[in-house]
Amino acid sequence: MSSTLYFAVTSALSSAHAAASFSTKMLAGQFHDAAAVAAARVDHERPDDAPSQAELQAYADVQLVLGRYEDAEETYRLAQKAMRGERSAIRAALCRNAGWQALFQNHLGTALMCFKRIADDDEASNEQRLESLVGAALVLFHLGRLDGVRKRLEAMSALAALAPDFRWRRLVDTLRHDLLVQYRLRSTEPLADHIYWQSVIAEFMPAHVGDGMPTLADDSTPAIAVLTRRIDYLHHLQALARGSHAALGQIDAHLRWSQSAGLDDYHRSLRLEVALGALAGKAPHVAETMLHMFRDSPMQGVQHARWYLEYLYCQAKVRQQQGRLGDHAQWYGRYALMSIRHVRADSVALPATPAEQTQPAPDDISARLPGKYRRAYRYLVDNLERADLSVRDVATHIGVTDRALQAAFKAHLGVSPSELIRNKRMEHIREELMVSDSHSASVLQIANRWGVQHRSTLLNGYRKMFKEAPSETLSR
């Protein structure tokens, strides 16, 4: 399942000018035209003024949709330099951009942490929270954490019902329907040996991906053309999975549209979905046709990607249904090994509790900093327990001035180094308080272990971050 269309729609709906030409073209699926509009707005040779942060971000977004990842990264960097306004808004925008880039590049743990920071930020706007919840739901589905998907869908529904733009309701309904179709496709009997998903299907029910939740949109809710395309395609995909070949013409039309729209990643995802649907309907020749494009694609370096797991499974299943059991065994062995690797990687990306975490989860903060300042951040994290840790210590460690360190952290993270030190300490203190055996130590003793020596510093900092006193956390 691709995130491309949902990101495109959230980008358009979150835009400061959601009714403008750029957003209209994004929602219509005219991505090349949207890119042309956005490029004209950020033309650096304009004599009147420099492009705004919103204009640069819109251009970066459509570059990401079109798979131009390096170009998008550079444009996001320019948007970052153009940011003005409240620090909370800047912080949310930085997390948002980093989260979507991480998701498109398969860094799911980093993406989830970025989206969580926005969803948990009381100062984030409803649109920012909605967008982060969409991103988080997509990540959690890919990780097989359907319990988390249900919670995000419920939160999305509540916010969308309050949003002045009713099209958010259409987006939430479509995403919920899409996730349910994906779940049911992988629950079919012919795909019972898809071991990566069977463990998820055995543990969770359709309700975890929104089955039974009320529909938000009605006949008066404005349609979103690109999502209407997706819904029509999903209808035909379900028919194919039931064994009907009558839908192949419409499916082929959607495949051709995705190519003409410049959505290479989405097109690849479609072919894998259709292959799964064909295999569920016991039509291996259709699945083999869908997989044919991969023969001409370089496979080196893609083995870590989530889609490669589905590719291996489909190749194995085609051979099984064709009776080529020797080839099937070889492909299925590769698939099973890759499944184990993904499960291990997923457990690191999303540990159940701090106590169970055997190695550090991917850190979204580090991912948002330039190389030199990542070293500063690592030094900061490694020395949090030192009560005398200062900004100057961190700056000296990487050979820059205090001012340069301050400027880099504020530009890339939206917070100063001293604020980050305080926030990280409070996070660690909260983690210890939430572990059951922490009751043997006093709150202040736990705080002392993380470099916080004064009760007033602890109480003020903790309440500011978590809206409760440390003792309230400890008592739960």
Q: Which pLDDT score is estimated for 302?
A: 57
Q: Per-residue pLDDT tens for 134-155?
A: 999 999 988 888 878 888 999 9
At 160-218, the pLDDT tens digits run 999 999 999 999 999 999 999 999 999 899 999 998 888 777 666 777 677 778 899 99
- pLDDT of 106 strictly over 90: no
| pLDDT for residue 378 | 86
Alpha carbon 429 to chain centroid, angstroms: 27
Nearest to 150 by CA among 170, 172, 127: 172
pLDDT digits (tens, 9 = 90+) for 431-464: 888 764 544 567 888 888 889 988 888 998 898 8
Q: Does pLDDT of 85 surpass 90? A: no
Query: What number of CA atoms fall less than 13 Å from residue 15's CA on the CB side?
Result: 28
Per-residue confidence band for 343, with pLDDT thresholds at 50, 70 and 90: confident
Euclidean distance between CA atoms 428 and 98, whole angstroms: 23
Q: Is residue 340 scored above 50 in pLDDT?
A: yes
> How far is the C-alpha of 421 from the C-alpha of 381, rounded, in Å?
8
Indicate whether 30 pLDDT > 50: yes
Mean pLDDT of 309-329: 95
Predicted confidence band of residue 159 (pLDDT cuts 50, 70, 90): very high
pLDDT band, residue 359 (cuts 50/70/90): very low
Cβ neighbors of 296 (< 8 A, separation 6 or more) are none
- pLDDT at residue 326 is higher than 60: yes
Q: How far apart are CA 74 and CA 471, in angstroms?
A: 45
Domain architecture of the chain: domains with CATH: 4-348 (1.25.40), 369-475 (1.10.10.60)
pLDDT of residue 380: 92
The b/e string for 129-148 (b: 16+ C-beta within 10 A; e otherwise) is bbbbbbbbbbbbbbbbbbeb
pLDDT at 360: 42
Query: Quick one: pLDDT at residue 353?
Result: 35
- Asked if residue 307 has pLDDT above 70, the reply is yes
Model confidence at 356, pLDDT cuts 50, 70, 90, reads very low
Higher pLDDT pick, 402 / 18: 402
Q: What is the distance between the alpha carbons of residues 117 and 472, in angstroms, rounded to a whole number?
A: 22
Top mean pLDDT of 49-63, 72-86, 255-269 is at: 255-269
The pLDDT-based confidence of 121 (bands split at 50, 70, 90) is confident
Question: What confidence score (pLDDT) does residue 4 get?
Answer: 95
Which of 39-43, 160-164, 377-381 has the highest mean predicted lDDT (pLDDT)?
160-164
Between CA 169 and CA 217 the distance in angstroms is 5
CB-CB neighbours of 390 under 10 Å:
13
Judged by average pLDDT, the poorest of 103-107, 202-206, 250-254, 401-405 is: 202-206
Q: Which residue has the tokens 């948990």?
A: 120
Tell me which residue of 284, 317, 328, 322 sits closest to 192, measured CA to CA.
317
pLDDT band at 363 (very low <50, low <70, confident <90, very high): low
Nearest to 151 by CA among 72, 211, 209, 234: 209
Average pLDDT over residues 374-397: 90
Q: Taking 70 as the threshold, does the pLDDT of residue 156 lie above it?
A: yes
What are the pLDDT digits (tens) for 225-248?
999 999 999 999 999 999 999 989
- Which pLDDT does position 18 carry in this prediction? 59
The percentage of the chain sitting over the pLDDT mark of 70, rounded to a whole number, equals: 90
Q: What is the pLDDT of residues 245-286, one digit of tens each?
A: 998 999 999 999 999 999 999 999 999 999 999 999 999 999
Section 307-333 average pLDDT: 95
The confidence score (pLDDT) of residue 438 equals 44
